[in-house]
């Protein structure tokens, strides 16, 4: 288990913000599953948003009863994460939360927890009220993260979970397990540390955004660090030799503040930086200056970099997507990828500029209105004073009592001030409506996409695609995916209708019956109908869209079917766990194309057994045209029985033989569509996959058809075999 303290940027918002987040009561979280929740030392239901609002009010009221002078506020928020495939129950969660609160000194305080199971690791959000019901406020321990790590080991021992790495470890002595603090050397020996510094949270976030590709810090600590360390530790090392070694990877070493940093400049001008000590303790400022003397900047020409971080990052991304990593493997795709990256960068710069302009415009208008309103309020005061004396004199002439006159005048002045205040409030409201606040990135993209901006559409599809990948349901959903380099558009496949949903940036493919077959979301095709025809159509579109490789997700049955069909269509499958199936299907295709070697005597015997129908010439994957058939025996004569060996082969595959017979019947009766040909091939391949003899299958089918229909089906059989051969060639040539 691992624990992490969640820091808050604004402590004045009370418990409402954190509570609504963990309970997923925010409008933006409407699509996320509702979590299981529980309370500690707080007698309040949490089933509905109204119940949870009551809990928020109770916690806020308890915290407000005591004046809080601490900088962290009354809310303490921490997450407890279990390892993959570990799923705690409610009693275990209550016990874990109580142990954490006791460890931190919050025992007896009001607390709430919510369990989130929508990631690879089940995790609990624990929110504690630091203000106790009796009025005292508990302090947060100075090294709370260290105490939390110790508590995680203790919970693991108590509940039987696997041990996670951390400052505290579990040791066994004389059959008893205990939790002890480990030094960095001990953790390095155990493989928990590599001798360098930990990767920063920003670097971890960068790796998450790059779908698992290495951050600059991680990349720097690899091969570049080894080469630079060799240069530092070599005899006669100098700052010049170290700078030359760093230049081989496009990085520079320079002092900053009290330490050293290593920087790299990307093609778009951005500068990435990491502490030199990220490469190891040998690269700290003190260690480098001890080995090389006082720092000296680089001088003279430097060698051209052999590897840059940007190129290594592109290669890692391509590898994660199952693409060829060699830059020259497909120059056209490299060019389009670079164009798309440049378009996204320009789009981000445009968004930043527009939002900055809106912010400045809003500030200027608001400032001008505030000054005008202040002048109006200041001008009203002397005006009312001047009118007051005249009004009081008129009231006295009319015989009004002095006190009554003053009250009446005060009422009139209050009305004038109220009218000014309401008018100014209406003007402020109108200004807010005319100049809205800066928009979020996604809302801005949606507005541009509605106007037809292709770069915005592509970026929006990427955001939605990443959101899908973060869901556990993603890998369970039947679908095909690849790298989307072209704008979203309709692709033509026979017998399908395609409609573009411009709002959601989707292409929905429907059949002739009006039912949805699959949806193209850009980098992913989501299957709705799992029939063979729909699967083939989706794979053909994937081949046209993604070109190189596809990844297949979903159930094991669907993934195997799709992988075998992709091999038949000439599409490469990128999933590592499906390569055995790919190899098996390729072997089957080679076996089907390879003629069976038989002796001359065996061929003669086979020909005699199968005459007059010549069924051995009717192989659905034969490369030669079927030979003309001899007239069959009269219908009244008994048909030659299928040899015992063939009958044994065909017997267990009766269903496949019947499906093949039905396909032949439809073909002979005039149904010359591709569906008939595919039905025959599908039944034939299914039986072959189960170990049936191909020649025996064809012989059995031909024998039955000719026995029922007579010699009039010979020409139809020959044309069907020719159609099967053409279909086989189309399948084998697809995508090549």
* Distance spanning both ends of the chain, measured CA to CA: 49
Higher pLDDT, 31 or 140: 140
Name the band, by pLDDT with cuts 50, 70 and 90, for residue 105: very high
Whether the pLDDT of residue 617 is over 50: the answer is no
Please provide the average confidence, as pLDDT, over all residues in the chain.
77
pLDDT confidence of residue 153: 92
The confidence score (pLDDT) of residue 627 equals 41
- In this prediction, residue 115 has a pLDDT band, given cuts at 50, 70 and 90, of very high
Q: In the CATH hierarchy, which top-level class contains the domain 2-189?
A: alpha beta
State the pLDDT at residue 321: 47
- Stretch 160-186: mean pLDDT: 81
User: pLDDT tens digits for 378-435?
Assistant: 888 888 888 887 888 887 788 877 777 777 778 888 888 888 888 888 887 777 666 5
Of the listed ranges 255-264, 373-382, 486-495, 584-593, the least confidently predicted one is 486-495
* Structure confidence at residue 193 as a pLDDT band (50, 70, 90): low
Task: Give the pLDDT mean for 555-569.
Answer: 86
Q: Helix, strand, or coil here: 15?
A: coil
Query: Does 622 have pLDDT greater than 50?
Result: no
In 3D space, the residue among 559, 544, 540 whose CA is nearest the CA of residue 674 turns out to be: 540
% of the chain beyond a pLDDT of 90: 13
CA distances 704 to 61, 113, 605, 629, Å, are 86, 70, 20, 15
Residue 250, SS3?
A: coil
pTM score of the predicted model: 0.37
* 26: number of Cβ within 10 Å: 11
- Is the CB of residue 264 less than 8 Å from the CB of residue 224? no
Contact 9/87 with Cβ under 8 angstroms? no
Strands 524-527 and 516-520: antiparallel
Confidence of residue 266 (pLDDT cuts 50, 70, 90): confident
Give the model's pLDDT for residue 188.
Answer: 63
525 pLDDT exceeds 90?
Answer: no
- Pairing state between β 549-553 and 572-573: parallel
pLDDT tens profile 668-689 = 888 888 888 888 888 888 888 7
pLDDT of the residue at 724: 87
Of residues 69 and 109, the one with the higher pLDDT is: 109
Strands 524-527 and 506-510, how do they pair?
Answer: unpaired
What pLDDT, on a 0 to 100 scale, did the predictor assign at position 626? 41
Region 676-704 average pLDDT: 81
Tokens matching residue 213: 């590709």
pLDDT, mean of residues 475-496: 60
What is the structure's pLDDT at 252? 93
Segment 206-251, tens digit of pLDDT: 665 665 567 888 888 888 888 899 889 888 899 999 999 999 999 9
CA distances from 658 to 169, 607, 710 (A): 66, 24, 18
Residue 482: pLDDT band by 50, 70, 90 thresholds? low
Q: Give the separation between CA 539 and CA 562, rounded to whole angstroms.
A: 8
Q: Would the pLDDT of 619 be above 60?
A: no
Residue 327 confidence (pLDDT) above 60: no
- Domain locations in the chain as residue ranges: 2-189, 201-320, 343-438, 470-592, 613-631+640-733
Judge whether residue 643 has pLDDT over 70: no
CA 214 to CA 199: how far, in whole Å? 11
Burial of 363 (0-12, 13-18, 19+ CB in 10 A): exposed
């Amino acid at each position: 288990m691992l624990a992490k303290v969640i820091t808050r940027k604004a402590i004045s918002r009370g418990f409402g913000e954190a509570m609504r987040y963990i309970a997923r009561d925010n409008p933006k979280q409407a699509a996320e599953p509702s979590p299981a929740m529980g309370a500690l030392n707080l007698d309040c239901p949490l089933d509905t948003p109204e119940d949870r609002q009551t809990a928020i009010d109770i916690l806020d009221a308890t915290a407000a009863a005591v004046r809080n002078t601490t900088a962290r506020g009354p809310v303490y928020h921490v997450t407890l994460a279990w390892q993959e495939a570990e799923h705690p129950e409610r009693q275990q969660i209550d016990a874990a939360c109580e142990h954490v609160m006791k460890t931190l000194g919050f025992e007896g305080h009001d607390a709430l927890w919510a369990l989130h199971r929508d990631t690879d690791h089940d995790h609990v959000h624990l929110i504690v009220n630091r203000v106790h019901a009796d009025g005292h406020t508990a302090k947060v321990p100075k090294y709370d993260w260290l105490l939390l790590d110790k508590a995680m080991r203790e919970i693991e021992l108590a509940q039987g979970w696997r041990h996670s790495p951390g400052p505290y470890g579990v040791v066994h002595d004389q059959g008893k397990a205990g939790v002890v603090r480990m030094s960095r050397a001990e953790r390095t020996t155990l493989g928990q540390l590599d001798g360098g510094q930990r990767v920063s949270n920003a670097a971890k976030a960068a790796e998450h955004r790059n779908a698992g590709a290495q951050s600059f810090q991680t990349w720097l600590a690899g091969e570049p660090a080894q080469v630079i360390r060799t240069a530092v530790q070599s005899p006669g090392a100098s700052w010049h030799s170290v700078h030359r070694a760093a230049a081989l990877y496009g990085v520079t070493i320079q002092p900053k503040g009290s330490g050293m940093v290593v920087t790299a400049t990307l093609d778009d001008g951005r500068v990435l930086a990491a502490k030199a000590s990220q490469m190891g303790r040998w690269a700290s400022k003190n260690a480098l200056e001890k080995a090389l003397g006082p720092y000296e900047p680089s001088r003279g020409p430097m060698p051209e970099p052999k590897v840059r971080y940007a190129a290594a990052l592109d290669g890692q991304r391509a590898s994660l997507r199952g693409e060829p990593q060699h830059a020259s493997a497909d120059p056209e795709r490299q060019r389009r990828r670079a164009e798309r990256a440049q378009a996204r960068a320009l789009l981000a710069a445009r968004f930043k500029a527009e939002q900055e302009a809106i912010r400045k415009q809003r500030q200027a208008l608001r400032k001008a209105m505030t000054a005008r309103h202040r002048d109006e309020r200041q001008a009203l005061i002397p005006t009312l004073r001047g009118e007051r004396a005249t009004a009081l004199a008129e009231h006295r002439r009319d015989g009004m009592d002095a006190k009554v006159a003053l009250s009446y005048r005060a009422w009139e002045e209050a009305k004038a001030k109220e009218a000014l205040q309401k008018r100014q409030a209406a003007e402020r409201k109108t200004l807010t409506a005319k100049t809205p606040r800066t928009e979020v990135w996604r809302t801005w993209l949606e507005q541009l996409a509605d106007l037809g901006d292709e770069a915005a559409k592509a970026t929006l599809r990427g955001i939605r695609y990443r959101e899908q990948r973060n869901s556990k349901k993603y890998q369970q959903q039947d679908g095909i995916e690849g790298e989307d380099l072209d704008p979203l558009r309709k692709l033509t496949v026979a017998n399908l209708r395609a409609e573009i949903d411009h709002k959601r940036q989707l292409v929905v493919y429907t059949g002739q019956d009006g039912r949805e077959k699959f949806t193209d979301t850009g980098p992913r095709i989501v299957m709705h109908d799992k029939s063979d025809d729909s699967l083939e159509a989706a794979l053909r579109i994937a081949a046209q869209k993604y070109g190189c490789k596809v990844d297949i997700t979903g159930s094991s049955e669907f993934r195997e079917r799709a992988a075998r069909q992709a091999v038949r269509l000439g599409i490469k499958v990128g999933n590592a766990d499906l390569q055995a199936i790919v190899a098996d299907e390729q072997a089957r295709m080679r076996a089907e194309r390879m003629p069976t070697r038989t002796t001359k005597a065996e061929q003669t015997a086979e020909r005699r057994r199968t005459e007059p129908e010549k069924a051995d010439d009717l192989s659905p994957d034969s490369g030669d045209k079927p030979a003309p058939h001899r007239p069959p025996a009269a219908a009244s004569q008994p048909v030659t029985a299928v040899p015992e060996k063939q009958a044994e082969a065909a017997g267990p595959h009766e269903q496949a033989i019947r499906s093949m017979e039905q396909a032949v019947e439809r073909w002979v009766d005039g149904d010359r569509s591709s569906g008939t040909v595919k039905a025959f091939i599908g039944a034939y391949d299914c039986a072959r996959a189960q170990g049936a003899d191909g020649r025996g299958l064809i012989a059995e089918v031909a024998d039955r058809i000719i026995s029922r229909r007579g010699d009039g089906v010979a020409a139809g059989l020959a044309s069907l075999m020719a159609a099967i051969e053409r279909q086989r060639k189309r399948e084998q040539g697809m995508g090549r």
